[in-house]
Amino acid sequence: DAGVIQSPRHEVTEMGQEVTLRCKPISGHNSLFWYRQTMMRGLELLIYFNNNVPIDDSGMPEDRFSAKMPNASFSTLKIQPSEPRDSAVYFCASLGVGYEQFFGPGTRLTVL
């Protein structure tokens, strides 16, 4: 298995633009997580899905952020409009029947 796949790996955009981050979980995993990592705040859980249904979105910073999981093999995290303070590394992780969350390589987002 290729593991969790995230795209793009790097994204540079200007303030006010829409940003869409993509994640493909490991096949057969039924839970998916979006995390954000910054130097100031560390690694934070934004939202997680179980069987494509959002279970806990309490970590989503504000209405500018939205996440979807239209099917078991794809999820998106959208920021609209983006702001410089959204600059961070965004990780996606998936979980199967065990206890281990498998993390993707991350998307490094820079908002100018």
Partner 1 sequence: DAKTTQPPSMDCAEGRAANLPCNHSTISGNEYVYWYRQIHSQGPQYIIHGLKNNETNEMASLIITEDRKSSTLILPHATLRDTAVYYCIVRVGSGGSNYKLTFGKGTLLTVNP
Do 83 and 15 form a contact (C-beta atoms < 8 A)?
yes
Our finding on whether 20 is near partner 1 (CB under 8 A) is no
From 10-18, 68-76, 79-87, 97-105, span contacting partner 1 (CB under 8 A)? 97-105
101 interacts with partner 1 by CB under 8 A: yes
Report whether 35 contacts 43 (CB < 8 A).
yes
Structure tokens at 18: 């829409």
Is beta strand 5-7 parallel, antiparallel or unpaired with respect to 19-24? Answer: antiparallel
Site string for partner 1, 57-96 (x = CB under 8 A): ----------------------------------x-x-x-
Handedness of CA 70, 52, 81, 112 (dihedral sign): negative
Take residue 112 and report the two structure tokens written for it: 């100018």
State the minimum distance, in angstroms, from the CB of residue 55 to partner 1: 5
- 44 is a contact residue toward partner 1 (CB under 8 A): yes
Nearer Cβ to partner 1, position 14 or 56? Answer: 56
DSSP 25: P
Q: Binders of partner 1: how many residues, by CB under 8 A?
A: 22
Q: Closest approach of Cβ 76 to partner 1, in Å? A: 18
